[in-house]
Amino acid sequence: MANAGLQLLGFILAFLGWIGTIVSTALPQWKIYSYAGDNIVTAQAIYEGLWMSCVSQSTGQIQCKVFDSLLNLNSTLQATRALMVIGILLGLIAIFVATVGMKCMKCLEDNEVQKMRMAVIGGVIFLIAGLAVLVATAWYGNRIVQEFYDPMTPVNARYEFGHALFTGWAAASLCLLGGGLLCCSCPRKTTSYPTPRPYPKPAPSSGKDYV
């Protein structure tokens, strides 16, 4: 059986990864305007996220515009949205399932094997959630790289990686690491030996000798 401390560490790491996934999904800095070319404007910063695009002025004023139509968005953005939401929902399910299987909880105390299996199932769900977030962030980042090095993209329309993208990568790593540690709680199969048969007891002597 896995150590309770290792199991708790895995749950904490996976939980932090789930929080990071929510933060990454909500932040608008998925890609930031690249100050490349001759016409460099440093008075404002332009960045886009999964739900809106924003412009930050040097005076501190920020103006954001939510994307109007879902059908008007490109396929990469739609797929990234879907994968991030799926990762959040799977992480929420994994939290409830793994909590039941934690050794520090009172649930299923009478069935230790079933309790450990619940922790393993929670770890597997965390792994799937981490993979969903990793695929989403990697796909979005690859699209940024392709557009940046595309000669058809104007110099003043190129973007670089934003803070939310790095947060998503860190969140995916924590979910995968935490889920892997929870999966170490898998109960080992114990070898069952047949029950030894009792030897027959000798009959007590009556005290008479027969010739």
Query: What percentage of the chain exceeds 70 in pLDDT?
Result: 75
Angle, CA of 125, 174 and 19, to the nearest 5°:
80
More confident residue, 102 or 193: 102
Say which residue the tokens 């079933």 belong to.
114
Q: Which of 12-26, 54-68, 177-191 has the highest average model confidence (pLDDT)?
A: 12-26
Q: Residues in the chain, how many?
A: 211
Q: Where are the beta strands (DSSP E) in the chain?
A: 31-33, 44-48, 52-57, 62-66, 159-161
Residue type, 55: V
Say which residue the tokens 């799977």 belong to.
90
CATH level 2 (architecture), domain 4-27+71-184: Up-down Bundle (1.20)
More confident residue, 202 or 89: 89
Pairing between β-strand 44-48 and β-strand 52-57 as defined by DSSP bridges: antiparallel
Q: How far is CA 46 from the centre of its chain?
A: 29
At 66 the pLDDT is: 86
Note the pLDDT tens digit of each residue in 87-129. 999 999 999 998 887 776 666 666 667 778 888 899 999 999 9
At 133 the pLDDT is: 95
At 191 the pLDDT is: 42
Q: In whole angstroms, what is the distance from residue 84 CA to residue 139 CA?
A: 12
Is the predicted pLDDT of residue 68 greater than 50, yes or no? yes
> Could you tell me the pTM of the whole model?
0.79
Residue type, 146: Q
Instruction: Give the pLDDT mean for 27-56.
Output: 77
Work out the pLDDT band at 211, boundaries 50, 70, 90. Answer: very low
Q: In whole angstroms, what is the distance from residue 116 CA to residue 8 CA?
A: 13
Q: In whole angstroms, what is the distance from residue 149 CA to residue 155 CA?
A: 10
Closest CA to 84 of 122, 46, 51: 51
Sequence spans of domains, the chain: 4-27+71-184
